[in-house]
Amino acid sequence: MHQDTLYLSVYKKLLAILGSKCDDDDECQFFFDSATGVLEVEQALHLTYSDVNDADALSPTCELYTSYLAKSVYSQPLSVGIAAILPCFTIYKAVGDFILAQPQVEGNPYQDWINTYGGEEFAQSTARAVEIANRHASLCDDATLEKMNAAFIKASKLEWMFWDSAFNKEEWVI
């Protein structure tokens, strides 16, 4: 979970930036609350499982993923930035739900993580993120909608690559 902690240190900032770009007060508050949730709850949860210090570096894939998200949030229309960050919500929720549905193992050291991402509070946040993305998609022209779809697909692939790189303990080769 080491790279996950480093990833979240970037992701929370991108959520706050999305919040600052929103015209709708409720959407603005959602993204600020989500960033705060990462900062206060999720970040603490991940620090339970890993020892991270400021000298630690993002793996190549983690850097690629966070750079792509930052590019999408900073330089694309708000709707595209929202589409790019959405896979983190939806994939974490799907994985949390899947693991939570499996027989529970007594003393599982990752049970807090499973409960967080398989829990009702995260389900509500994920549903709200999807609702916001869908609202923005409904207001887009076809070209922007295509960019939203492409951003969602690419970020989904990068999410998979990110977890694969963490599983394989990817490091910089030079």
Q: Is 51 helix (H, G, I), strand (E, B) or coil?
A: coil
Q: Which residue has the tokens 């206060």?
A: 40
Q: What is the pLDDT of residues 96-128, one digit of tens each?
A: 999 989 888 899 888 888 888 888 999 999 999
For the residues of 66-82, what is the DSSP string, one character each?
HHHHHHHHHHS-HHHHH
Cα–Cα distance list, 26 to 75, 80, 123 (Å): 23, 19, 18
Q: What is the DSSP letter of 105?
A: P
For the chain, what is the mean pLDDT?
90
Residues 6+ apart with CB under 8 A from 171: 59
Note the pTM of the prediction, 2 decimals. 0.90
Q: Which residue has the tokens 């990817």?
A: 170
pLDDT of 1 > 80? The answer is no
